[in-house]
Structure 1
Amino acid sequence: MPRSIQTVSLPVVVQGTERSLQVFRYGEAGARPKIYIQGALHAGEMPGPLVIHHLTRLLDEMDAAGRIRGEIVLVPFANPIGFAQDLSGTHYGRFDQASRENYNRGFPWIGAEVAALIGDRLTTDATANVPLVRAAAHKVLEHIPARTEFDHLRLALMRMAIDADYCFDLHCAGEAPLYIYCDDDPGEERIAEFAAQLGSEATFIHAYMEDGRPFSSAVGQLWLQVARALDDSGKPVRQPGLSGTVELRGSRDVDDAVSAADALNLLRYMMRRGIVTGDPGPLPEAKSAPMPITACDHGYAPCTGIIVYSVPVGARLRQGQEVCCIVDPGIADFEAARFPVLAGCDGVLFDRAGDRLARAGEQIFRIAAEEPLAHRIGKTALDD
């Protein structure tokens, strides 16, 4: 059936204002597998919407040829609130100006409520349990109260995505290659296939994300939440597909050719998963193996000043090697004005801050290590 364009209106919270989400839908509602893809939840990050723009052209062709078998839901601009936040010509799309919350935090964590609603209807068959969890999740989300405009947005996005087999939230970093954070239950094979198809340079498996509650984890870790709440190994609850956050390089990597290639890779992944029919071709050789999130090291600014990087993105580092200097030109002595920041481990520099003004304590780079790091155990992977 031809694509439809749905307008999802958010409730009016401030008199005289109205916001909505434009949703592109392909395939028949309820068909399986279902994939949900959104862009610009951090509303200033444009690579995601451009990739979705190119993906709609490809899916229009697939639809015309009768090759869509599953359900596909695309939301190119997932955050109309943040998209409108302009202050004196500067766009602020990462944080809600009303609550000062990060737009990719605090999504409903509903596993305990879902488990309570299912009760003793859970079976010993993991496959049969999937629709039970999904139906209960929809009921729970329908009854969660919303107070603010941001609350309404969170719920609108979750209601569209919570029953998806595959859920991908498209973001970007400061300066970076393409990399991925995924939630996977069970096993790494699904992540490895997705990462290889997209050409991910660094791929991390998230730990349990209840503290931060980013969007893709609130959707993908529903299954872990329910399993923990029920605590019955004889009645398995397992994620049927895959959920993750895709960092589409840096914020300035907005390019038709690059985005078209990313869209084609997403289409080929849909072919591999049976959402769209066709031959995806051989799986590209993986650029990196999925690693626990504890293999992602973070570098922080020791003081406020100008960031001067010593090595480029993609550089292979040794522990103790200088990654950058924080320079304070207000200090008269040249050497004393430079504060080196060193690599905390061996690995590859895969993410640098895009802003060259560092604030004390701010995260300014990430390193993909070769193994899990003891000093990262128990620390958050999220840096607002």
Structure 2
Amino acid sequence: MMKFSKEVMHVGEMASGAALTVPVYRFKGLGDGPSVYIQANMHGAEVQGNAVIFQLLELLRNMEIMGDITLVPYANPVGCNHKNGEYTLGRFDPITGVNWNRMYHFDESIIKPFVQQCIGKDDATIERDFKLLMIETIEQKLDHNIFGLTTGQRIAYQLQRLAHQADLVLDLHTGPISSKHLYCPEYAKESAQYFDIPHTLLIPNVFDGALDEATFCPWWKLQQAFAELGIEFSITSQQVNKESFTVELGSQEQIDLDVALEDAKSILSYLQHKNVIATTDYQPSTMTRYACYLKDYKAYYSPMGGMVDYLAKFGQPLAAGKPLARILRMDNYGDGDPLHYLSLDQEVIPILHFASASVNQGTELYKVFTNFFTL
């Protein structure tokens, strides 16, 4: 019988002494399938992932699960409680100003010494020992840092310790006003087609502080270090099989449980493909899936201040010269032009836009795919 458990993880303390806690749910797999870690709500306003984890828990309880699955909603208790009036501001640590999702750890200097110690070992031993090394490295950061840790680092490292125990990692986020899109490592491009997500950003295999990078980059660097010595060690093999994704589930500050059920089924389609669950019930939908490389994912900044009427539809190619938005400037009415249309001189796919209609000059108005292609 499959084992299900819940624990409450203590991740910090407030000035009053009140504990900061995070719920952790676990399914113990019945076989030898890949292990999975899924978290949500690292950014305070990005709450749809919590609803998706709820729906996953409901579905998984009645399913044959082959690999261990760990699910963590409310991953950042500071961020999700960081309110200002009716808005949730929890994208940045209010003390340090650092993005909550840029505080994870990876020290590339551990790779080559480890490789030297592993020459001649089989892949299963290398995989086991490297996983233990990454966990030990994080525990050293948590328990033996003589100058201490910021609140954000302490939370991030404890989440990362859980993630390093898994083979497959999904970090659930949303945008401001956004379409669904997927941040996918370039080497894992083939897996993107198993999610019901129409837009994929292919990110380079380098570390920039986010959870997905902190969990796949060490394995990629390990593979490269072995390759430099002429030794084959593949992280896309059936035996090793390491992938991490940031899954953007739409817009912030709202949940939709019906949409969350569809998002959960999309994730189960991927987990079924990876043999984590023993079922054939979940298949990816037939759809046009657009992709672009991260270097071609462009931010468009407002050339003027004003009130914005967002015109471009998400997910549909927008021809060069067609309007993205129009800006209303009532201060110009009567002695100037109150309406200004904004367009680009190349074809793009709009992915997300700023949450407010009120913008200053220089506000990041849209993010768009350029030089896109189909998967």
Question: TM-score, with normalisation over the residues of structure 2?
Answer: 0.86
User: Which residue of the other structure, out of 189, 198, 202, is the alignment partner of 1:201?
Assistant: 198
Post-superposition CA distance 1:318-342 (Å, at most 9, x none) = 2233211333433456654544432
Segment of structure 1 superposing worse, 79-88 or 35-44: 79-88
Structure 1 contact 43–82 (Cα < 8 Å) conserved: yes
Deviation of 1:73 after TM superposition, in Å, equals 0.5
Residue matched to 1:20: 21
Counterparts of residues 283-302 of structure 1 (less than 5 Å): 283-302=284-303
> Aligned partner of 1:120: which letter?
Q
Residue matched to 1:169: 171
Identity %: 21
Deviation of 1:370 after TM superposition, in Å, equals 4.4
2:75 is the counterpart of 1:74 = no
Residue matched to 2:127: 130
Residue matched to 2:266: 265
SS of the residue 1:137 aligns to: helix
Inter-partner Cα distance in structure 1 for 2:30 and 2:135: 15
Structure 1 contact 269–280 (Cα < 8 Å) conserved: no
Deviation of 1:312 after TM superposition, in Å, equals 2.6
Runs of at least 4 residues of structure 1 off by over 6 A? Answer: none
Structure 1 contact 129–237 (Cα < 8 Å) conserved: no
SS of the residue 1:3 aligns to: strand
Inter-partner Cα distance in structure 1 for 2:336 and 2:368: 26
> Aligned partner of 1:136: which letter?
L
Structure 1 contact 204–290 (Cα < 8 Å) conserved: yes
Structure 1 contact 324–341 (Cα < 8 Å) conserved: yes
Segment of structure 1 superposing worse, 109-118 or 67-76: 109-118
Structure 1 contact 124–234 (Cα < 8 Å) conserved: no
Structure 1 contact 107–154 (Cα < 8 Å) conserved: yes
Residue matched to 1:378: none
Residue matched to 1:377: none
Post-superposition CA distance 1:36-72 (Å, at most 9, x none) = 111111121111000111111111112xxxx111010
* 1:155–1:290 CA distance, 2 compared to 1 (3 A): same
2:212 is the counterpart of 1:216 = yes
Unaligned runs of 5+ in 1: 373-384
Inter-partner Cα distance in structure 2 for 1:335 and 1:123: 76
Residue matched to 1:192: 193
Inter-partner Cα distance in structure 2 for 1:223 and 1:362: 37
**What do you get for the CA RMSD once the two structures are aligned?**
2.7
Post-superposition CA distance 1:113-143 (Å, at most 9, x none) = 3443554324576555322321111111111
* 1:32–1:111 CA distance, 2 compared to 1 (3 A): farther
> Aligned partner of 1:22: which letter?
P
Question: TM-score, with normalisation over the residues of structure 1?
Answer: 0.85
Deviation of 1:24 after TM superposition, in Å, equals 0.5
Deviation of 1:251 after TM superposition, in Å, equals 2.2
Deviation of 1:78 after TM superposition, in Å, equals 0.8
Post-superposition CA distance 1:180-202 (Å, at most 9, x none) = 111243x5222333xxxx32121
* 1:260–1:94 CA distance, 2 compared to 1 (3 A): same
Paired residue total: 362
Structure 2 contact 180–198 (Cα < 8 Å) conserved: yes
Counterparts of residues 331-350 of structure 1 (less than 5 Å): 331-332=332-333, 335-350=336-351
* 1:313–1:223 CA distance, 2 compared to 1 (3 A): same
> Aligned partner of 1:110: which letter?
D
> Aligned partner of 2:212: which letter?
S
Residue matched to 2:314: 313
2:89 is the counterpart of 1:92 = yes
Residue matched to 2:238: none
